[in-house]
Structure 1
Amino acid sequence: MWDFFETVRHRHSIRRFRKEREVEAEKLHAIIEVAASAPSAGDIQPWRIEVIQDEGLRSALDAAAPGESFIGEAPVSLVFLAEPARSAAEYGQRGADLYAIQDTTIAAAYAQLAVVAAGMGSTWVGHFDEAAVRSALGTGEELVPLTILCVGYPAEVPEPTPRRPLEELVRYR
């Protein structure tokens, strides 16, 4: 098991998955548990996670995201949906507009790192037609799809992408 820093360093966007290797149920459950443990404003957890293993649903998600053809190839997709009304009940409009989005994103990021810690890979997909995702999942307007996290065992690991120097990103004061 890697320590946290190694887990973060080994996270890459995986767009080709091994078709012959399924995601084990216990690993998938552990990833979901980690996402559920993510912090949220007031511990409200204003998110839903749709675990998509069905090939037809994965294809529908693929169709909802032009140019992201690997969605249908991943054995599992985790769709993270914000539930703004849960945050709004406690924090008003700021809760709906900001906290629900932030909190759901944190949960998805936790899941993404848990995937790496479990020895797999993922890709974060944010470019999709919200209405098409809602339609595929049968959810209403009260849920906002934020990301599709494609999960599986990598068929290839890409080279790390260049990162901006810390001097450009950080200001010590």
Structure 2
Amino acid sequence: MTKDLIDAIQRRRSVRKFKPDPIPDPTIGRILDCGRMAPSAGNIEPWFFYVVKNNDIKHKLAQCSESWIENAPVLIVVVADYDQVMKRYGERGRDLYVLQDTAAATQNMLLAAHGYGIGSCWVGDFDDQKVKQILQIPEEQKPVAIIPLGYPVENEERPAVHKTLSEVVKIIH
């Protein structure tokens, strides 16, 4: 395990204020590729990543989510394909695996963005149906996260973690 990876995990934080500077397309591509490399149940990879740079679309997404997201130069909407997982794993795949898989992809992209000096935030507060309509997402798919990306206005420290390790770890011998 590299020190850089541990540092990224420990120092990454949610960013909600961004500079207007554009993010180079190759950098966005590398961030998306890190999402694509996430583990998934049965290696199904039930995700799609919608990259939104259009200001009108960002504005519409902000109206059915958190208003501040429209100020990010890029939004990545993580979409889960429930049918893909359901076909192989049934209800457990639909209710659990697809969410675990897309969460792993989302976390990979958050860490990758941090590694490139790009701020991000995991947004789950949005109207699913409105996002589907705005982006014309197929019926069998569902948006599960919005990731605003941009260079941070300020470099704040990560807030303190509230629970100690002993509060969250249960060792069974």
CA contact (8 A) 1:14 1:157 kept: no
CA contact (8 A) 1:55 1:72 kept: yes
Q: Distance in 2 between matches of 1:2 and 1:26?
A: 25
Superposed, 1:2-41 pairs within 5 Å as: 3-19=4-20, 21-41=21-41
Unaligned residue ranges in structure 1 (runs of 5+) = none
Q: CA deviation at 1:162?
A: 2.2
Q: CA deviation at 1:91?
A: 1.1
CA contact (8 A) 1:12 1:157 kept: no
Cα deviations by residue, 1:74-120 (Å, 9 ceiling, x for unpaired): 00010001111001111112111211111011111111100001111
- The ranges of structure 1 where at least 4 consecutive aligned residues each deviate by more than 6 angstroms after the TM superposition are none
Q: Which amino acid aligns with 2:37?
A: S
Q: TM-score, normalised by structure 2?
A: 0.93
Cα deviations by residue, 1:103-159 (Å, 9 ceiling, x for unpaired): 011111111100001111101100111111111111133111110000010001334
Number of paired residues? 170
Q: CA deviation at 1:2?
A: 6.8
CA contact (8 A) 1:46 1:87 kept: yes
Identity %: 35
Q: 123, 126, 129: which one pairs with 1:125?
A: 123
Unaligned residue ranges in structure 2 (runs of 5+) = none
**TM-align CA RMSD:** 1.4
Q: Which stretch shows the higher mean deviation, 41-50 or 92-101?
A: 92-101
Q: Distance in 2 between matches of 1:79 and 1:29?
A: 14
Q: TM-score, normalised by structure 1?
A: 0.93
CA contact (8 A) 2:11 2:157 kept: no
